[in-house]
């Protein structure tokens, strides 16, 4: 226990919001006659043996089916004391009505969950992030890994965005907003990102918690390169900061290389490649909207998009065409989404990664490099490796692992929360 994944939970369905906060849970431990377990005070919930074990190892969630008493009359946002199966306190958390996580634990003692606690955690999260110079897009609060379970805060230059995994956490927003404002003197706006709703075809825009956002998004830097992002308007801001270290790692090896960037989104890898001397960069994405943003990002960095190629296509279809035309690349980058829907039907990383790796191998120049990554939490590192190897075997192309990438310093991973080690990324030579 503690080394593998726990079942992934944290549902995102909406529920009742608001509720009391800043209260210190606690109360008497009356014994029911004839029963060995103590009764619960109105602010306590009891959890079963299994959850007690996980909580004592630092895991911050109680799943709904692990609650063994005290669930009655609870409201989303209630601060509750968690009582283990042995009757001992296991800390304090916030009750949720939505999803499978019933309690997110904010502290391991029976103290309050209030503005002061949130402010201290936000300041500690800032202090543990020695960010690279010339980088203004970064994750400030990484949920469970910064002891603020269910809460993510991203800094996008002067705009900040807050995302909550459950409406039960909205009770913490005023304290969070004030702490962020105090610590980021240059902030001009703070967004609350809308929770994804599977019933909505399109992302809903977030709401402004404070300040005045710029009309057309903001410009941010990553290792000195410039990107235009649009925080708050949808889930897709336009830059995946968790790949920043990978992009930086590649920089010394790009000069003169022919680079193929698949699933390229707004072209962050392509901009890095072109800016560091790659000969030609071919940028492929299903969405012509993202490719237009990729071209804009090239221009923003003084790079001429006309000297490179942008292809609006399904990545597997593009790989087929490139192979038939005999095109070969020194570096192929494949960072696909977990799931997507395209002209070739459904893409699923667990079903299709092997096929993708095989197709990438077939356009790889001799001695070329393949960067393959997945952020799918449901795909274990072991299965990722197995699928990559299957693809290489299928293509008859032996590959060697040169580098295993990981998330940057602003995406810390608490050892007690294995769910946070989601990124698998290999740079292979073959």
Ligand X SMILES: C[S@@+](CC[C@H](N)C(=O)[O-])C[C@H]1O[C@@H](n2cnc3c(N)ncnc32)[C@H](O)[C@@H]1O
| From 56, 287, 350, 416, residue interacting with ligand X (rule: CB under 6 A) | 287
Instruction: Tell how strand 258-262 and strand 280-285 pair up.
Output: parallel
For the window 35-64, what string marks contact with ligand X as x by the rule CB under 6 A? ------------------------------
Q: Which is nearer to ligand X, 64 or 223 (CB)?
A: 223
Q: In whole angstroms, what is the distance from residue 228 CA to residue 225 CA?
A: 10
Closest CB to ligand X among residues 178, 219: 219
Is 281 a residue that touches ligand X (CB under 6 A)?
no
Q: Cβ(294)–Cβ(261) under 8 Å?
A: no
Site for ligand X in 318-377 (CB under 6 A): 335, 337, 340, 342, 347
Does residue 286 bind ligand X (CB under 6 A)? Answer: yes
Of 22-30, 99-107, 170-178, 286-294, the window that binds ligand X (rule: CB under 6 A) is 286-294
Closer to ligand X by CB, 148 or 284: give it. Answer: 284
Contact region with ligand X (CB under 6 A), list: 78-86, 135-143, 264-272, 422-430: 264-272
Closest approach of ligand X to the CB of residue 349, in Å: 10
Near ligand X by CB under 6 A: residue from 44, 283, 315, 374: 315
To which residue do tokens 């290389």 refer?
257
SS3 105: strand
Distance CA 153, CA 35 (A): 45
Closest to 93 (Cα-Cα) out of 101, 202, 299, 410? 101
Q: Are 342 and 314 in contact (CB under 8 A)?
A: yes
Sole binder of ligand X in the list 61, 138, 263, 426 (CB under 6 A): 263
**How far is the C-alpha of 22 from the C-alpha of 163, rounded, in Å?**
21
Of the pair 269, 329, the CB lying nearest ligand X is at: 269
Q: Does 268 bind ligand X (CB under 6 A)?
A: yes
C-beta of 266 vs 420, nearer to ligand X: 266
Which residues fall within 8 angstroms of residue 407, CB to CB, at 6 or more apart?
242, 245, 413, 423
Q: How far is the CB of 341 from ligand X (least distance, A)?
A: 8
Q: How many residues bind ligand X (CB under 6 A)?
A: 18
Nearer to ligand X, 275 or 284 (CB): 284
Helices (H), 337-396: 349-361, 381-394
Could you give the CA distance from residue 297 to residue 305 in angstroms, rounded to a whole number? 9
Of the listed pieces 30-38, 128-136, 280-288, 320-328, which binds ligand X according to CB under 6 A?
A: 280-288
Neighbour order of strands in the sheet with 280-285: 309-312, 280-285, 258-262, 329-334, 364-374, 424-429, 400-404
Stretch 214-253: interaction string toward ligand X, x if CB under 6 A: --------------------------x--x----------
CA distances 68 to 84, 99, 105, Å, are 9, 17, 16
Interface residue list for ligand X (CB under 6 A)? 240, 243, 263, 265, 268-269, 284-287, 290, 314-315, 335, 337, 340, 342, 347
């Amino acid at each position: 226990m503690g080394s593998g994944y726990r079942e992934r939970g944290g549902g995102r369905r909406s529920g009742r919001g608001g509720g009391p906060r800043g209260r210190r849970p606690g109360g008497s431990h009356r014994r029911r006659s004839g029963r060995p377990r103590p009764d619960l005070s109105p602010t306590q919930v009891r959890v079963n043996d299994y959850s007690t074990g996980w909580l004592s190892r630092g895991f911050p969630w109680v799943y709904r089916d692990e609650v063994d008493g005290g669930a009655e009359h609870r409201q989303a946002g209630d601060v509750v004391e968690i009582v283990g199966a042995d009757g001992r306190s296991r800390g304090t958390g916030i009750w949720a009505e939505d999803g499978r996580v019933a309690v997110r634990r904010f502290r391991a003692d029976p103290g309050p969950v209030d503005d002061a606690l949130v402010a201290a955690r936000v300041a500690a999260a800032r202090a543990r992030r020695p960010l690279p110079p010339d980088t203004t897009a970064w994750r400030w609060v990484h949920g469970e890994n910064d002891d603020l379970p269910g809460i993510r805060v991203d800094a996008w230059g002067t705009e900040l965005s807050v995302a909550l995994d459950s409406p039960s956490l909205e009770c913490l927003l005023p304290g969070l907003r004030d702490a962020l404002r105090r610590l980021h003197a240059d902030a001009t706006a703070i967004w609350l990102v809308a929770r994804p709703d599977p019933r909505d075809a399109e992302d809903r825009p977030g709401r402004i918690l404070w300040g005045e956002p710029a009309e057309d998004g903001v410009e941010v830097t990553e290792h000195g390169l410039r990107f235009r992002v649009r925080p708050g308007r949808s889930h897709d801001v336009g830059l995946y900061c968790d790949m920043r270290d990978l992009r930086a790692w590649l920089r010394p090896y790009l000069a003169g290389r022919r680079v193929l960037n698949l699933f390229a989104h707004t072209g962050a890898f392509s901009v890095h490649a072109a800016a560091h001397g790659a000969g030609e960069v071919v940028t492929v994405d299903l969405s012509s909207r993202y490719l237009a943003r990729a071209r804009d990002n090239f221009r923003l960095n003084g790079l001429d998009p006309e000297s490179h190629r942008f292809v609006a296509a399904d990545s597997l279809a593009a790989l087929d065409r490139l192979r038939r035309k005999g095109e070969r690349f020194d570096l192929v980058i494949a960072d696909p989404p977990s799931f997507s829907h395209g002209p070739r039907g459904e893409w699923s990383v667990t079903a299709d990664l092997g096929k993708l790796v095989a197709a990438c191998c077939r356009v790889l120049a001799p001695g070329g490099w393949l960067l393959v990554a997945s952020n799918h939490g449901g795909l274990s590192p072991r299965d990722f490796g197995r699928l990559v190897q299957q693809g290489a075997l299928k293509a008859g192309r032996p590959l060697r692992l040169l580098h295993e990438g990981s998330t940057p310093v602003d995406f810390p991973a608490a050892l007690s929360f294995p769910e946070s080690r989601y990124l698998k990324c290999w740079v292979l030579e073959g």
